């Protein structure tokens, strides 16, 4: 594998997730984010990250989304502070889009119109992306859907310079399971229903993996992830078949083609930086093997990324099956083999080996 394939320059598309909002009053089903995060190092760390981003840009990397979370900024204790932060704005100036995670149900901190005004200022390069979980228990409740449409429109009404480039609606896999109760899993059906509500012209409905942010050594995290992968791949196949003739696509089927894994993402949380892994979506896993030590500067980080990739070539009791597999390179690139090692599983966990899409998915959203 060429070095450039696993690092940051040469047109690679890069996202940065900032886990810097703290406090949340919601208890969304399936939520695994840290609702209280230590923000004591954020000020100095954002300065270091700004220098790092500048270098990535100088080396030809394409900085796509700066993603603000993990809790809803509309209720987080420091939500307004983040939206008005000059340091966050400096980081945003390197990215095409600012992406904000919110339930879009609560105006404790600011009104939705004011949120639009603040985002208009923060998204220096004009792209605004809104990201919200959908409460699938309310999928047949038109009032819930209307309220969501109204609140998103209010945010949009506050934008004068900026434009909404995408509205991501996430359907947590575990929601689908709950909704289905003891009948069949209805996740793909739910996603199609949400699509047909036409909540926003730029909507993109995505299935959310039970994300093992707080570690795969936790048995519940570990099991949730592994149980979901095979079924989620089936769901994505069902969606791929339903969407095949639609333009534009409104549901995400991530690219599984080894040549098309263009996205590289990092997550900053509590003074640490991690490389995200990629299964069917980009996931933060707070394990040391994915951590990028300081200094956060182009050359040292590039070496770390190369080493992370090469480490996956060492045989372990959990990756014997991967050593001879045709998908080995694609899985290394996505850190799938490291996930197996950390999770302590020998069986294949890559969606590449489950999907019916042939030769691989070609209808993914990718990065526009």
Q: How far is the CB of 244 from ligand SF4 (least distance, A)?
A: 24
Q: How far apart are CA 104 and CA 151, in angstroms?
A: 6
Phi, psi of 200 (to 5 degrees): -160, 145
Taking the least distance from each CB to ligand SF4, the nearer of 180 and 325 is 325
Total Cβ atoms within 10 A of residue 291: 14
- Per DSSP, 46 falls in state H
Residue 350 found at the interface with ligand SF4 (CB under 6 A):
yes
Residue 336 found at the interface with ligand SF4 (CB under 6 A):
yes
Total Cβ atoms within 10 A of residue 27: 7
Residue 21 found at the interface with ligand SF4 (CB under 6 A):
no
Residue 341 found at the interface with ligand SF4 (CB under 6 A):
no
Q: How far is the CB of 67 from ligand SF4 (least distance, A)?
A: 27
Taking the least distance from each CB to ligand SF4, the nearer of 220 and 323 is 323
Taking the least distance from each CB to ligand SF4, the nearer of 148 and 343 is 343
Q: Which of 34, 353, 362, 366 binds ligand SF4 (CB under 6 A)?
A: 353
**In this structure, what token pair is assigned to residue 3?**
């070095």
CA distances from 151 to 64, 145, 206, 228 (A): 25, 10, 20, 32
Q: How far is the CB of 328 from ligand SF4 (least distance, A)?
A: 4
Taking the least distance from each CB to ligand SF4, the nearer of 194 and 253 is 253
Taking the least distance from each CB to ligand SF4, the nearer of 301 and 336 is 336
Q: How far is the CB of 275 from ligand SF4 (least distance, A)?
A: 18
Residue 331 found at the interface with ligand SF4 (CB under 6 A):
yes
Residue 225 found at the interface with ligand SF4 (CB under 6 A):
no
What residues from 263 to 322 belong to the interface with ligand SF4 (CB under 6 A)?
321-322
Q: Which of 166, 200, 213, 327 binds ligand SF4 (CB under 6 A)?
A: 327
CB 98 within 8 A of CB 116: no
Q: How far apart are CA 209 and CA 228, in angstroms?
A: 7
CA distances from 336 to 278, 310, 341, 353 (A): 7, 13, 9, 12
CA distances from 308 to 41, 218, 288 (A): 25, 22, 11
Q: Given the rule CB under 6 A, which residues bind ligand SF4?
A: 321-322, 325, 327-328, 331, 336, 348-350, 352-353
């Amino acid at each position: 594998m060429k070095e450039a394939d696993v690092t940051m320059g040469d047109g690679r598309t890069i996202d940065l997730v900032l886990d810097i909002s703290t406090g949340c009053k919601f208890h969304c089903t399936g939520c695994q984010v840290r609702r209280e995060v230590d923000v004591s190092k954020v000020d100095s760390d954002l300065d270091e990250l700004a220098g790092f981003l500048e270098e990535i840009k100088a080396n030809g990397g394409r900085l796509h989304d700066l993603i603000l979370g993990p809790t809803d900024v509309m209720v987080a204790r420091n939500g307004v502070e983040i939206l008005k932060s000059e340091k966050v704005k400096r980081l945003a100036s390197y990215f095409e889009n600012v992406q904000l995670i919110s339930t879009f149900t609560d105006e404790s901190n600011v009104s939705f119109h004011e949120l639009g005004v603040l985002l208009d200022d923060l998204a220096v390069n004009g792209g605004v992306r809104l990201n919200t979980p959908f409460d699938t228990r309310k999928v047949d409740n038109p009032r819930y859907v209307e309220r969501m449409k109204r609140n998103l429109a209010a945010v949009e009404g506050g934008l004068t310079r900026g434009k909404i480039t995408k509205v991501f609606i996430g359907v947590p896999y575990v929601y689908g399971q709950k909704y289905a109760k003891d009948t069949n899993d209805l996740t793909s059906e739910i996603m199609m229903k949400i699509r047909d509500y036409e909540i926003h012209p730029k909507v993109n409905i995505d299935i959310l993996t039970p994300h093992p942010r707080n570690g795969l050594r936790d048995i519940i995290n570990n099991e949730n992830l592994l149980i979901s992968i095979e079924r989620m791949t089936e769901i994505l196949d069902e969606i791929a078949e339903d969407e095949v003739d639609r333009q534009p696509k409104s549901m995400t089927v991530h690219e599984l083609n080894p040549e098309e894994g263009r996205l590289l993402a990092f997550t900053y949380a509590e003074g640490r930086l991690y490389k995200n892994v990629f299964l069917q979506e980009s996931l933060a896993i707070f394990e040391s093997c994915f951590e990028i030590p300081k200094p956060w500067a182009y050359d040292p980080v590039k070496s770390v990324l190369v080493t992370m990739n090469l480490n996956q070539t060492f045989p372990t009791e959990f990756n014997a099956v991967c050593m001879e597999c045709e998908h080995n390179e694609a899985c290394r690139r996505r850190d799938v083999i490291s996930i197996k090692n950390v999770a302590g599983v020998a069986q294949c966990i890559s969606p590449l080996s489950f999907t019916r899409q042939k030769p691989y998915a070609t209808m993914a959203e990718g990065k526009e």
